[in-house]
Amino acid sequence: MQRSRRALLQRRALEKVITGRNSKCMVSLSLFFVLWGLVFLFSLWISLGDGFTDGDVGLAVGISTWNETKLDHGKHSDSGDVHPLKETDAVHSSDRLSTNGVTPSSISSELLDVEGENDYASAEGSKNYVSDVVKQPEVESSSSFTKLENDSPKNDRLSHAVPVGLDEFKSRTYSTKSKSGIGPAGVIKHRVEPGGAEYNYASVSKGAKVLAFNKESKGASNILGRDEDKYLRNPCSVEGKFVIIELSEETLVDTIEIANFEHYSSNLKDFELLGSLVYPTDQWVKLGNFTAPNVKLAQRFVLQEPKWVRYLKLNLLSHYGSEFYCTLSVVEVFGVDAVERMLEDLISVQDNVFVSAGPTGDQKPMSSQPVSPEGDDSSQNMNKEMDSHATTGNSNVNHEILKSDVPDPVEEARHQQAGRMPGDTVIKILMQKVRALDINLSVLERYLEELTSRYGNIFKEIDKDIGDKDILLEKIRADVRNLLDSQGSIAKEVDDLVSWKSLVSFQLDSLVRDNAILRLEVEKVREKQNSIEKKNVVIFLAKSFSWPSWRADNFLGTYYRSPVVFSSERRSDQLLVASEAPLISSSKPNETVLLPQVLEDKQEQIRNIEISETKVIKRYSKLEKLEASLARARFSIKEAAQVRNLTSIHEDSDYVPQGPIYRNANAFHWSYLEMEKLFKIYVYREGDPPIFHNGPCKSIYSTEGRFIHEMEKGNKFRTLDPDEALVYFLPFSVVMMVRYLYAPDSHDTKAIKLAITDYINVISDKHPFWNRSLGADHFMLSCHDWGPVTSSYVPRLFSKSIRVLCNANTSEGFNPSKDVSFPEIHLRTGEIKGLVGGFSPSRRSILAFFAGRLHGHIRYLLLEQWKEKDQDVQVYDQLPSGVSYESMLKKSKFCLCPSGYEVASPRVVEAIYAECVPVLISDGYVPPFSDVLNWRSFSVQVQVKDIPNIKKILMGISQSQYLRMHRRVKQVQRHFVANGPPKRFDVFHMIVHSIWLRRLNVRIENQF
């Protein structure tokens, strides 16, 4: 300690001699501070000039220029003991305090004392608090003045600068201290020994030792001495050569020196240096990789970044030459330890105190610039008060620090013998610092009180303005919401008006066509009436006169055989005259008797012909006949619904619906039979695969593809004559549209919209059926999640047509009275056989089961509540290895079927196939075939809010009730099974039956 102290003082004395410092010439200190004041004014002028030119960023530019000036002056400082950056900060801090009425001489020592405690958190925090608060007045005044100049033409309100926060103070101070922790050029000042040599922390005489080395090494401890004849020896061929050294104490390592003095060995080439504060350890900090020249001399290597370490690990990576042994003679480590670092900082700070304690009364405080014209009085008052209090405080500081008769601890330390400072001296220095900090704290408290009163009114005003702006913003938001609601209602009304307009236009066109047809028929009736009147006149004349037979024959012959008259009569009249001509022209005696009878018969035949022709005109069209048959079917189904038996009364060789799984078994059975007799579907031929007339048969969307393929192959429901069809199928596949028209992750569905819109336009232009019903007797089918959105691209397809959807979500526009919900079946391989079957109830040991990844908020709630938390309710996001999903379904009594992002889920059908009672967990989901099936009889429906009570709900179902539900699940399987070719009452026929029921609710009228 004593030798280190003596060496430190000798080094500083030498530096003072080199730099030409003369401590006896105190007169030069006044000149020195005058020079600093001029430089500060010049830097302030530059910062203000930059601030005015940059407008709103004047504050930042000013601070930057200020810092640059401080750095420049720090480089030209003529003090060898005081850190340049610290001294510059002290001078600037004193200048800033002078602007607020505090003399710089009294505060400079305090600030220097505070800044000197680099290794103590309390002193560091105090320096942050003092120096940054002192910086505020000048920065505030300059930035406020700049903002006032730039913002005055833009805003009537005055701009007020707000002091920076405490966090910013700390960050600035920490960054400054971290930068000032090393020497002027960024290099650590190494500790020196009393003789002037650098202190080697890896010397065995200082307590360093070798802890570990590779097993092939010999003489590892020799590298810690200076004996050139001893060395560390390693065979060069050995891999993984290393040595671990424990330094004499915890050291901030800056430089390492190695040497090899053995001539008949290979020199070290590449080596890696690692460090650590603890040993043993698995986490070494890398200090650097180095390459040594191939020389037999001592070589120094400086670390790019000094590190605090206690243990060093030297990895010997490669070597020069081809000698058998690789040797290393010396390893030396240089830097500075923590105690030496602290003592250097303490003595440096005390030297700064005495240097800066010179001129105290000659410097005049600079007047700070006002924040605003209205704030002149308050600013001046505050400055005056600050002057009075600060002057008093500073006088105390000067009296207590500079003029005290108490012996100075630093001077005592200087006169003591060389070595480190004793403990009582350190305590004295620390007490003096505490006293200075107390005085600084009183000044800061007064300053903060004035600052609080100064900006309190401004903050109140700002709060009031913010409150007014919030009220105004809420009003604007309310107006915007009202406008949006009005816009939505107006848009809806406009759509209704457009639809009403198109409907009225269509009806008017139909009326015009009907009127034209009616006029034509009236003209035909008039022509026929005139013809009949002419014939009646001829008959009347023939009865009125008793002409001889030959004249009558001649007259009738002339009349009926006249080519002019023939050409004007119908073919039926011609045939009648031709057949009766021989009878009339006969020369038998009773000719005169038969003539009236023949004429009467002819008149009756003519009357019958007119009546038959009138019946042809009034006959029913095909559409009217279809509607009449639908009306009869509708009436008969209503009659069948009056029978409340659980079993249908109608005979059927394949299957007779029975049991509580149906809402009305008799009505369903009769409706199904009527469907098989009357229902015909026409499939539009427009469109080309793969988007049209095609669909997936091996995926989660397989139901969509199988239905399209069954309709394309042809069955008893498909007709090739569109006039006898009751519904019209639009054979496009949403799955194929997404696959071929949508770019993944592009969120651009314009191509899909154009495709579906163009297809409907082609259908409506080429065929009359879409316009006849406005799409009400047309249906589309989709199992993709985007099915509802795709249908919305054509408004009438969305609102009028029958939409057969897996995603039957009422919250997304699904209308159960018009749309059809059909099941989502996941055919992983496309195979439809062997999917049905499960264990008996006695072999089902699991109460409830679910396995599926996180997909939507409902599954999130389910997994969060039940994931791997209960043996009865087994919920997984991923099944354990070796566990089969199908076997878990077959071993469970209840299968949980939560909705994902959309309401449809293939788990419903998977549960039914496995004879597991499905538990539906969804909001707004309409189950498949729910207009026929009574889902409550064979499933459990749980609301989302009751997810935490699932076990309680399922445990509340008795064993007998569960057995009944299990039997009903097995019974309802036939309605969800896919067959090839389709069989009666299977999933294909149930989908067709659901479409049939929707068509019964629609009445289409002929518009022609």
Q: What does the pLDDT look like over 890-910, one tens digit per residue?
A: 999 999 999 988 888 899 999
Cβ–Cβ < 8 Å for 980, 832 = yes
- Which residues are registered as beta bridge partners of 301? 256
- Which residues are registered as beta bridge partners of 694? none
Residue 515's pLDDT band (cuts 50, 70, 90): confident
Rounded distance between C-alpha atoms, residue 621 and residue 624, angstroms: 5
What length is written for the chain?
1008
Rounded distance between C-alpha atoms, residue 911 and residue 254, angstroms: 72
* 276 in the same domain as 211: yes
Map tokens 């504060």 to a residue. 277
Residue with more model confidence, 593 or 797: 797
pLDDT for 359 equals 42
Q: For the chain, what percent of residues have pLDDT higher than 90?
A: 41
Residue with more model confidence, 502 or 357: 502
pLDDT in tens, 540-554: 776 555 434 333 333
Whether residue 390 has pLDDT greater than 60: no
Domain count, the chain: 5
pLDDT for 730 equals 96
* 808 in the same domain as 900: no
Q: Tell me, what amino acid is at 474? A: E
pLDDT in tens, 169-220: 445 544 554 444 444 444 678 888 888 889 999 999 889 999 999 999 999 9
Rounded distance between C-alpha atoms, residue 385 and residue 390, angstroms: 8
Cβ–Cβ < 8 Å for 233, 219 = yes
Q: Does a structural domain hold residue 753?
A: yes
Q: Does a structural domain hold residue 82?
A: no
pLDDT for 201 equals 93
pLDDT for 32 equals 57
Q: Does a structural domain hold residue 449?
A: no
Q: Does a structural domain hold residue 923?
A: yes
Residue with more model confidence, 121 or 226: 226
- Domain carrying residue 527: 491-613
Cβ–Cβ < 8 Å for 189, 344 = yes
Residue with more model confidence, 825 or 176: 825
Residue 426's pLDDT band (cuts 50, 70, 90): low
pLDDT for 9 equals 62
Cβ–Cβ < 8 Å for 357, 277 = no
* 666 in the same domain as 683: no
* 630 in the same domain as 591: no
Torsion of CA 446, 450, 456, 459, to 10 degrees: -100
Query: How is 312-335 classified by DSSP, letter by letter?
Result: EEEEE--BSS--SEEEE-EEEEEE
Whether residue 556 has pLDDT greater than 50: no
Q: Does a structural domain hold residue 290?
A: yes
Rounded distance between C-alpha atoms, residue 200 and residue 245, angstroms: 13
Global model pTM greater than 0.85: no
Map tokens 């900082």 to a residue. 345
**Paired tokens of 301:** 């290597």
* 668 in the same domain as 719: no
Cβ-in-10-Å burial (0-12, 13-18, 19+) of 403 comes to: exposed
Rg (CA), the chain: 53
* 643 in the same domain as 557: no
Rounded distance between C-alpha atoms, residue 115 and residue 127, angstroms: 6
Q: Does a structural domain hold residue 132?
A: no
* 597 in the same domain as 631: no
Cβ–Cβ < 8 Å for 114, 94 = no
Residue 373's pLDDT band (cuts 50, 70, 90): very low
Q: Span 699-722, mean pLDDT?
A: 91
Rounded distance between C-alpha atoms, residue 333 and residue 358, angstroms: 42
Rounded distance between C-alpha atoms, residue 679 and residue 633, angstroms: 11
State residue 266 phi and psi, 5-degree precision: -85, 140
* Pairing mode, strands 802-805 and 778-782: parallel
Residue with more model confidence, 657 or 346: 657
pLDDT in tens, 94-116: 343 333 333 333 333 333 343 34
SS3 290: strand
Q: Span 664-674, mean pLDDT?
A: 93
pLDDT in tens, 308-343: 999 999 999 999 988 999 999 999 999 988 777 777
Q: Does a structural domain hold residue 399?
A: no
Rounded distance between C-alpha atoms, residue 860 and residue 383, angstroms: 63
**Residue 230 backbone zone (phi > 0: left; psi -120 to 50: alpha; other: beta):** beta
Q: Tell me, what amino acid is at 649? A: I
Q: Span 850-876, mean pLDDT?
A: 91
pLDDT for 514 equals 81
Q: Does a structural domain hold residue 54?
A: no
The 8-class DSSP code of residue 402 comes to I
Q: Span 689-713, mean pLDDT?
A: 91
Among 342, 362, 384, which residue terminates a domain? 342
Residue 643's pLDDT band (cuts 50, 70, 90): confident
* 337 in the same domain as 225: yes
Residue with more model confidence, 527 or 950: 950
pLDDT for 745 equals 86
Cβ–Cβ < 8 Å for 240, 284 = no
Whether residue 744 has pLDDT greater than 70: yes
* 778 in the same domain as 698: yes
Is the preceding omega at residue 184 within 30 degrees of 0, hence cis? Answer: no
pLDDT in tens, 14-37: 555 555 544 444 545 556 566 666
The 8-class DSSP code of residue 825 comes to -
Residue 623's pLDDT band (cuts 50, 70, 90): confident
Distant-in-sequence, close-in-space partners of 219: CB < 8 Å, separation ≥ 6: 230, 231, 232, 233
* 702 in the same domain as 781: yes
* 582 in the same domain as 659: no
Mean pLDDT of the chain, nearest integer: 74
Q: Tell me, what amino acid is at 620? A: Y
CATH code for the domain of 922 = 3.40.50.2000
* 881 in the same domain as 754: no
pLDDT for 496 equals 82
pLDDT for 570 equals 36
**Paired tokens of 240:** 């993984």
pLDDT in tens, 942-977: 999 999 999 999 999 999 999 999 999 999 999 999
